[in-house]
């Protein structure tokens, strides 16, 4: 969970990969930047825009978009992106050689571990940060990767796939496969990333099984650097004993996904408030 | 940089470019040097810590940003013990502390406590946050209350006393006049407009609280109109904001009567907005052989 | 088209899509058939002719339009002798006549005179034009005056009585409530926000009058927030406008509580906006198997 | 001064011509439309935009821009455009084959005449409507064309050129040449189009010489079809005798450049108010 001072850079897109469905990968090449990155961290990125566009009134520059580090090897950093709205559509139009604006690396990232039996759980666009994590963990841990998507366009290489429509792998919610696998594979640590309902369900399961579970959360962001408090999620910070009632009341605060996160201990997330 | 000196009441600024409360913090200074800024206005502080509003708190519309932060802040004590020392260590430009309260007494309590600290050049009274029910907003809309507030607070401090006004009122000039009469030494405007966005597919509000605060380029014409109205109504210097993205935008506000401007949403759109606006102003004035005083309030209709 | 029936107080509309006063006239119907429209709201008429404001009267900003027409119109008599017959000859959808006056008596005089004419389905009381000093605007901001106005006018007519509100007020809900209590049968909102633009090079206002009225996509979040607030405050049906360009925009306002919407600036941006919005709504509802009544006011926060 | 019902169309750009400075010409081809056009009329035109762009928030669609009919021959209509701001810059980016949105033909246009000694006076971007007019008048009238520009990038084929900087033709304000020419060429009718200060000066001269003068005015437009009253200019509509003072007071009204104009009798324009 290291935090480097983020930088703001313009970088040429070194290459671009097309995947199924609405997915694509943009690669940049920057040895220095590459050395600063850790799994679970992300960048705020944007198709090159100028403030002066607003003056020219041709197009209004919009917010940067948070995108995880998908891969980081040999000085190349990959962003694995799904086109879902205006910001990601603008990114989807970029070609190799075009300029990308970047702020990062941002966020806390995953804690590296060793000698563990690790389960990775991803849903849809939760896949990219776990790929980078998996590469870092693979030599020192036993890893099993479970991934779920809506359909065959939302699945990527891993150990077990679930799709909602059954068009690839097992049919159903990926979390249905979680408890059996944890037991079967003797998992002692789960890392997850994906849509909130999936993470909520996964957190319930790991909690019941008493398994440590770190989860990477998403939030709408404005600054990405901890300034605006726009990306807040409710996180337990402490517990207070209620002597009279004989119970302990969770103390919580709105923490910033971009600064204290995106990775949180799943135990600490106030899931019922999300 | 001499050319871009300006002043805001008792404050001498080395640059007319400042930053809007809640949109800029020390992290931003990782991206550029602080000499481009005339002052640093920190996020609003309240007497007690505030947890803020439930998420989602942000939504970007076609032409701006809707936010519903709800003045999340650690409260006065933590500000003094943790934040202020860090700001003082980092800054060599004037620090303006933005404060808000739910009563005149609470404002007074905060100012009196802050007066015991060093390193503060002024206060910005946030009486205009649309994300706080029955608190800030209740103040900002009544001239009499704004007058009372300023009259009560002014004797407590020799420092710059800025009142930050809401655009969500019928007669902003009357409120500015009340602030002036009460003893404020400058006016900041505008805070966010009410704004809302709904997911057309599901009917769900994009912001958990429903109505939030709207900022960014889409509010520029409104901010400019209100700056102009207030500049006509009072003699106090104005620090204007609302949709300023470019140096051309900044000039519009200076012409309309602002002595300084602040960048808010622009900091999110481009972390280098402040130095870019500064450079643009500098080049423009150099090319036209004008000083800021030839521009400020010199708008013709 | 059955599916898109809606109503506005006493008016049954075949389409929730209407047009905003001052932005649409018979000329627009050269481009598409009127069946896409639920009603035709004409440019505001005053008792006596008004010459309007000096030019320039228009300026397009980054995200909308600033105008300063100043209610130029030929006055009530010419309206009745020249315009109304032409509207009646051309229209087979309900005609709503927008009127404005400088006193309650003047409003009353206009309505009484118009009641003698046929072919009028309703009146829209424009108490909210920001381009008319001490006239429309003075009414729109005081709940008591709006109450008196409605109370005076309601007995004169059985037709739909719409009050069009200004966004440039502290508490739009209070004014809507006053209109309701006074006997208005529906609420239109919003008229334009104050807006201004200055040529950064010369300091000259882009609009001769300085401050004008700001409309278009940039005001959508504000219009939506105010629609939502008013929908919570009154039972009267609402005809909402302010930055509606697309069918998705229209849906946002319906969710927020509008029974019908109006296109203003969108008519300039695309003369085919109305049929496009209509078609988009129709497709959306068909695909989702929803009726308008499943949407109107059903927004969740 | 015929008024046709304007149409709204999308048309492919048939060809594009480049001129000096910031000038270019876009041609469309539409035989039907061509037949409806008259000299002095204009179109509201725009680079193809969609309302839905606003929803996608990539770029906001903006107003159409009024552009005169520069030429109209063999079914082809030409728009001679100077890039001055956001709207014309968007037009400047169009290539042959791109789509142009059009509303028109709009406005009253010039009155055709014959057997007259006509002087055409244009300044800068006032040139295009006079070209079309000149083509229509040439066979039945004697024509002399006087044009002025800031510098050599603002001059186009005609009989006499003035530039402010003297880089082409005579040096000075084009109106300096007006009175001598009117006398020398025995002109009995002037048609003008250009910047207001030039037109104002020209109107003064023709008035003093008692020469009929029709001028085409510019205004910022929103609708272009007479609906919004945004393009108003003060025009004399009548005179009222003030019996007591023994003078006649001009009665005037704000008329619409897009509907009652763009061509007005220079005598009727309330120049002092412009
Ligand atoms: C820390 C972090 C890391 C991320 N990593 C990646 C990544 O590696 N690859 C990637 O493709 N995306 C990633 N995302 C998500 C990505 O940031 C969003 O998809 C993007 O911001 C959407 O912006 P837009 O303008 O394209 O769409 P918008 O216009 O903002 O939204 C379009 C639609 O998508 C929905 N939507 C918006 N944001 C999200 C979201 N975060 N999750 C689910 N639905 C959403 C909206 O409700 C809307 O219906 C990450 C997000 C965070 C916070
Ligand atoms: C009836 C009519 C016919 C016209 N015919 C032609 C034509 O054939 N070819 C052509 O190139 N232009 C013509 N124009 C002018 C053209 O419409 C404007 O240049 C254009 O609207 C500018 O839009 P923009 O968005 O590019 O610039 P804007 O952003 O609107 O303006 C950019 C700069 O140009 C100035 N400006 C804007 N409009 C005008 C104007 N009308 N006159 C002078 N300065 C202006 C502004 O003050 C600003 O400094 C005509 C205008 C009218 C009313
Ligand atoms: C995310 C966010 C947080 C804000 N927080 C505060 C705040 O704490 N105190 C305050 O006075 N204004 C706050 N504002 C308002 C801004 O200071 C500014 O007045 C407003 O955004 C208009 O300027 P802009 O359009 O340049 O953003 C906030 C605005 C945003 C967008
Ligand atoms: C050019 C123009 C003229 C207008 N004239 C009137 C008017 O005469 N009466 C009126 O009630 N509103 C008038 N309005 C306001 C519109 O009816 C509408 O309330 C406002 O423009 C907001 O909607 P929009 O954003 O869709 O344009 C006018 C607006 C514009 C842009
Ligand atoms: S996005 Fe601004 S604090 Fe996280
Ligand atoms: S531009 Fe609308 S009336 Fe002329």
Quote the CA–CA distance of C55 and D241 in Å, as a whole number.
27
Closest by alpha carbon to B260, among B108, B39, B99, B51? B39
Asked if A62 and B246 come within 8 Å (Cβ–Cβ), the reply is no
The per-residue pLDDT for range B186-213, each reduced to its tens digit, is 999 999 999 999 999 999 999 999 999 9
Asked if C60 and A57 come within 8 Å (Cβ–Cβ), the reply is yes
Average pLDDT over residues A2-15: 87
Question: Residue C177: inside a domain, yes or no?
Answer: yes
CB A19 near ligand 1, within 6 Å = no
Residue of minimum CA distance from atom 34 in ligand 1: A84
CB C205 near ligand 4, within 6 Å = no
Predicted confidence at residue C78, as pLDDT, reads 97
Question: Residue B209: inside a domain, yes or no?
Answer: no
Query: How many angstroms from the chain centroid is the CA of residue C220?
Result: 14
Element (H, E) at C145: helix C143-153
Closest-CA distance, C267 to chain A, in angstroms, reads: 19
Pairing of strands A99-106, D42-47: unpaired
Closest-CA distance, A240 to chain B, in angstroms, reads: 17
Question: Residue D62: closest CA among chain C residues belongs to which residue?
Answer: C269
Contact, A106 vs A44, CB < 8 A?
A: yes
Predicted confidence at residue A55, as pLDDT, reads 84
Phi, psi angles (nearest 5°) of residue C184:
-65, 150
User: A220 touching B, CB under 8 A?
Assistant: yes
How crowded is residue B75: how many other Cβ atoms within 10 Å of its Cβ?
14
Say how many Å lie between the CA of residue A15 and the centre of ligand 1. Answer: 22
Question: Residue B166: inside a domain, yes or no?
Answer: yes
Q: Is C129 a catalytic residue?
A: yes
Ligand 5 atom index nearest CA of A232? 4
Q: How many CB pairs under 8 A join A and B?
A: 103
Predicted confidence at residue B135, as pLDDT, reads 45
Residue appearing with tokens 């759109």: B269
Average pLDDT, chain B: 94
Residue B296: half-sphere exposure toward Cβ, Cα within 13 Å: 19
User: B60 touching D, CB under 8 A?
Assistant: yes
Average pLDDT over residues B97-113: 94
Contact, D177 vs D146, CB < 8 A?
A: yes
Say how many Å lie between the CA of residue A220 and the centre of ligand 4. Answer: 34
Asked if C60 and A55 come within 8 Å (Cβ–Cβ), the reply is no
Q: How confident is the model at residue B137 (pLDDT cuts 50, 70, 90)?
A: low
Residues of A in contact with C221 (CB under 8 A): none
Q: How many CB pairs under 8 A join A and D?
A: 22
Say how many Å lie between the CA of residue C9 and the centre of ligand 3. Answer: 39
Question: Residue C208: inside a domain, yes or no?
Answer: no
Closest by alpha carbon to C296, among C1, C54, C16, C13? C16
User: D251 touching A, CB under 8 A?
Assistant: no
Closest by alpha carbon to D41, among D6, D92, D13, D84? D6
Quote the CA–CA distance of B94 and C148 in Å, as a whole number.
52
Question: Residue B208: inside a domain, yes or no?
Answer: no
Say how many Å lie between the CA of residue B298 and the centre of ligand 4. Answer: 30
Closest by alpha carbon to A42, among A221, A199, A266? A221
Closest by alpha carbon to C64, among C287, C279, C215? C215
Say how many Å lie between the CA of residue C268 and the centre of ligand 6. Answer: 10
Quote the CA–CA distance of C1 and C283 in Å, as a whole number.
11
Out of A5, A225, A233, the one facing B55 most closely (by C-beta) is A233
End-to-end CA distance of chain D: 24
| Residue in C56, C64, C188, C264 to alter for ligand 4 test, most ligand atoms within 8 A of Cβ | C264
DSSP string, C213-242: EEESGGGHHHHHHHHHHHHHH--S-EEE-S
Pairing of strands B6-8, A232-242: unpaired
End-to-end CA distance of chain C: 30
Q: Which tokens hold the place of A91?
A: 């990114």
Q: Which tokens hold the place of B200?
A: 């057309």
Out of D5, D61, D227, the one facing C269 most closely (by C-beta) is D61
Asked if C63 and A60 come within 8 Å (Cβ–Cβ), the reply is yes
Residue of minimum CA distance from atom 5 in ligand 4: C22
CB B216 near ligand 3, within 6 Å = yes
The per-residue pLDDT for range D82-100, each reduced to its tens digit, is 999 989 999 999 999 999 9
Out of B207, B225, B284, the one facing C196 most closely (by C-beta) is B225
Residue D66: half-sphere exposure toward Cβ, Cα within 13 Å: 26
Degrees (nearest 5) of the Cα angle A198, A203, A208? Answer: 130
Residue D195, pLDDT > 90, answer: yes
Asked if D103 and C271 come within 8 Å (Cβ–Cβ), the reply is yes
Residues of B in contact with A271 (CB under 8 A): none
Question: Residue C63: inside a domain, yes or no?
Answer: no
SS3 A188: coil
Q: Print the domain residue range for B185.
A: 2-52+71-192+216-294
Average pLDDT over residues D229-247: 85
End-to-end CA distance of chain A: 24
Contact, C242 vs C220, CB < 8 A?
A: yes
Predicted confidence at residue C140, as pLDDT, reads 80
Closest-CA distance, B273 to chain C, in angstroms, reads: 18
Out of A7, A223, A274, the one facing B268 most closely (by C-beta) is A223
H-state helical runs in A148-195 = 178-184
Return per-residue pLDDT of chain C as tens, 301 residues. Answer: 457 999 999 899 999 999 999 999 999 999 999 999 999 999 999 999 999 999 999 999 999 999 999 999 999 999 999 999 999 999 999 999 999 998 899 999 999 999 999 999 999 999 976 655 554 456 788 899 999 999 999 999 999 999 999 999 999 999 999 999 999 999 999 999 999 999 999 999 999 999 999 999 999 999 999 999 999 999 999 999 999 999 999 999 999 999 999 999 999 999 999 999 999 999 999 999 999 999 999 999 9
As for how many domains chain C has, the answer is: 1
End-to-end CA distance of chain B: 30
Q: How confident is the model at residue B23 (pLDDT cuts 50, 70, 90)?
A: very high
Domains and CATH numbers, chain D: 7-106 (2.40.30.10), 117-219+261-268 (3.40.50.80)
User: B287 touching D, CB under 8 A?
Assistant: no
Residue D222, pLDDT > 60, answer: yes
B239, B244, B249, B250 alpha-carbon torsion, rounded to 10°: 30
For chain B, give the percent of residues with pLDDT over 90. 92
Q: Among all ligands shown, which has an atom nearest to the Cα of B167? A: 3
Predicted confidence at residue B128, as pLDDT, reads 79
CATH code: domain of residue C121: 3.20.20.70
Quote the CA–CA distance of A230 and B139 in Å, as a whole number.
25
Predicted confidence at residue C137, as pLDDT, reads 53
Query: How many angstroms from the chain centroid is the CA of residue D151?
Result: 20
Average pLDDT over residues B92-97: 97
Residue A209: half-sphere exposure toward Cβ, Cα within 13 Å: 22
Q: Among all ligands shown, which has an atom nearest to the Cα of B197? A: 1
Contact, D265 vs D255, CB < 8 A?
A: no
Q: Please name the residues in contact with D180: beta carbons below 8 A apart, sequence gap of 6 or more.
A: none
Asked if A225 and B27 come within 8 Å (Cβ–Cβ), the reply is yes
* Annotated catalytic residue, options C42, C129, C150, C299: C129
Closest by alpha carbon to D257, among D196, D173, D208, D206? D196
Contact, D53 vs D99, CB < 8 A?
A: no
The per-residue pLDDT for range B144-188, each reduced to its tens digit, is 999 999 999 999 999 999 999 999 999 999 999 999 999 999 999
Closest by alpha carbon to D158, among D124, D116, D199? D124
Predicted confidence at residue C135, as pLDDT, reads 45
């Amino acid at each position: 969970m290291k935090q480097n001072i983020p930088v703001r850079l313009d970088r040429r897109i070194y290459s671009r990969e097309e995947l199924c469905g609405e997915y694509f990968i943009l690669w940049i090449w920057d040895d220095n930047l590459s050395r600063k990155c850790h799994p679970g961290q992300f960048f705020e990125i944007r198709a090159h825009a100028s403030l002066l566009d607003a003056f020219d009134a041709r197009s209004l520059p919009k917010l940067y978009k948070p995108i995880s580090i998908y891969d980081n090897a040999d000085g190349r950093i990959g962003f694995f992106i799904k086109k879902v709205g205006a910001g990601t559509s603008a990114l989807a139009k970029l070609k190799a050689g075009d300029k990308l604006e970047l702020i990062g690396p941002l966020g806390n990232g995953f804690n590296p571990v060793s000698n563990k039996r690790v389960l990775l759980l991803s849903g849809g666009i939760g896949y990219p940060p776990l790929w980078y994590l998996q590469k870092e963990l693979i030599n020192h841990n036993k890893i099993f990767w479970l991934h779920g998507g809506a359909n065959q366009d939302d699945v990527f290489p891993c150990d077990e796939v679930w799709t909602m429509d059954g068009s690839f792998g097992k049919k159903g919610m990926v979390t249905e496969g979680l408890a059996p696998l944890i037991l079967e594979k003797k998992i002692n640590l789960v890392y997850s990333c994906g849509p909130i309902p999936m993470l909520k369900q996964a957190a319930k399961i790991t909690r019941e099984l008493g398994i440590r579970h770190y989860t990477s959360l998403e939030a709408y962001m404005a600054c990405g650097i901890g300034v605006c408090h726009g990306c807040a999620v409710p996180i337990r910070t402490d517990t207070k004993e209620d002597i009279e009632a004989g119970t302990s009341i969770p103390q919580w605060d709105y923490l910033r996904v971009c600064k204290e996160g995106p990775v949180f201990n799943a135990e600490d997330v106030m899931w019922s408030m999300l | 940089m001499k050319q871009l000196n300006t002043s805001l009441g008792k404050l001498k600024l080395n640059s007319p470019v400042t930053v809007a409360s809640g949109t800029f913090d020390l992290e931003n200074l990782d991206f550029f040097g602080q000499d481009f800024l005339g002052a640093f206005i920190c996020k609003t502080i309240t007497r007690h810590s505030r947890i803020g509003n439930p998420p989602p708190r942000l939504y970007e519309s076609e032409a701006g940003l809707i936010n519903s932060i709800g003045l999340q802040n650690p409260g006065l004590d933590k500000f003094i013990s943790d934040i202020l020392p860090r700001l003082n260590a980092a800054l060599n430009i004037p620090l303006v502390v933005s404060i808000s309260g739910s009563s005149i007494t609470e404002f007074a309590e905060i100012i009196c406590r802050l007066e015991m600290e060093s390193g503060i050049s002024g206060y910005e009274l946030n009486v205009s946050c649309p994300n706080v029910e029955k608190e800030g907003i209740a103040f900002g809309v009544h001239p009499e209350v704004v007058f009372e507030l300023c009259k009560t607070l002014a004797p407590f401090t020799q420092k710059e006393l800025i009142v930050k006004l809401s655009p969500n009122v019928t007669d902003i000039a009357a409120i500015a006049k009340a602030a002036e009469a009460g003893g404020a030494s400058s006016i900041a405007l505008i805070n966010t407009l009410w704004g809302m966005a709904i997911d057309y597919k599901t009917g769900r509000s994009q912001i958990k609280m429903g109505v939030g605060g709207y900022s960014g380029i889409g509010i520029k014409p409104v901010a400019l109109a209100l700056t102009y109205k207030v500049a006509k109504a009072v003699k106090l210097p104005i620090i204007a904001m609302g949709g300023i993205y470019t140096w051309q935008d900044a000039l519009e506000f200076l012409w309309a009567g602002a002595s300084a401007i602040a960048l808010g949403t622009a900091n999110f759109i481009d972390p280098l907005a402040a130095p870019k606006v500064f450079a643009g102003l500098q080049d423009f004035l150099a090319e036209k052989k004008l000083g800021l005083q030839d521009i400020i309030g010199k708008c013709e209709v």
